[in-house]
Amino acid sequence: MNWWERQVVPRLTNFCCGLGDVDKLRSPGCEGLHGKVLEVGFGTGHNVKHYPAAVTSVTAIEPSDLSWRMAQARVSSSPVEIRRGGLDGQRLDLPDDSFDCALSTFTMCTIPDLDAALAEVCRVLRPEGTLHFVEHGLSPETQVARRQRRFEPMNRRIAGGCHLTRPIDVHIERAGFELVQVERFYDSGPKPFGYIYRGSARLS
């Protein structure tokens, strides 16, 4: 990571992902989580207050040391045990079939090799495991998608590699998941940055 990615992007992400309009998306995205949870892209811990009571532990994958330090107040106040389990979602140093659920919120946009990361999630989930997600990505509207492609190079430079044009549901299904439910809608704010995919999927 360069200086911008180490020092600025975590603070920028903490602010943007903590806004009220974003935070309200998290509780529905966390519904159904239970048991041992793998959270890919833990960030600064904005999901902690939304974990259901059925969650018994969380293993956090977070590449940014600064984000992890910024998360410590939330981690310390959580009734759920949270530990950092690695830096790279594309290569998890975790055993097969070891988690009941996985959670990803506003993370799939920035992982360089998303398909590799989702393959790793498949590997570490138990056969009955589920993936829960809240992500932004490619809009089905032609004009909006055109603007997303135009803005994406700039957005990736500013926001730590954040893509605007990933069809999140396609990636999830290609990894071997079956979509249980998925909502697709625009959040508040400019459309190119706010097309949301929220739902859950199970191993197929």
Residue 184 has which token pair?
Answer: 């697709």
Q: Are 138 and 195 in contact (CB under 8 A)?
A: yes
> What are the two backbone dihedrals, phi and then psi, of residue 168, each rounded to the nearest 5 degrees?
-60, -45
Closest CA to 64 of 114, 11, 109, 102: 11
What's the CA gap between 112 and 162, in Å, rounded?
9
Helices (H) and strands (E) in the chain, counts: 9, 7
Residue 1 pLDDT: 74
CA distances to 58, 73, 76, 161, 187 from 135, rounded to whole Å, are 19, 25, 26, 15, 11
Closest CA to 182 of 192, 168, 193: 168
Q: How do the pLDDT tens digits run along the chain, 204 residues long?
A: 789 999 999 999 999 999 899 999 999 999 999 999 999 999 999 999 999 999 999 999 999 999 999 999 999 999 999 999 999 999 999 999 999 999 999 999 999 999 999 999 999 999 999 999 999 999 999 999 999 999 999 999 999 999 999 999 999 999 999 999 999 999 988 999 999 999 999 998
Provide the whole-model pTM: 0.96
What's the CA gap between 5 and 7, in Å, rounded?
6
What's the CA gap between 160 and 4, in Å, rounded?
8
Residue the block writes with tokens 């625009």: 186
Edge to edge, the sheet with strand 125-136 lists 81-86, 55-61, 35-40, 99-105, 125-136, 195-203, 177-186
What's the CA gap between 84 and 201, in Å, rounded?
24
**Enclosing domain of residue 33:** 3-203
Count of beta carbons in the 10 Å neighbourhood of residue 54: 12
As for how many domains the chain has, the answer is: 1
What's the CA gap between 135 and 36, in Å, rounded?
21
**CATH number of domain containing 50:** 3.40.50.150
Question: Which amino acid type is present at position 7?
Answer: Q
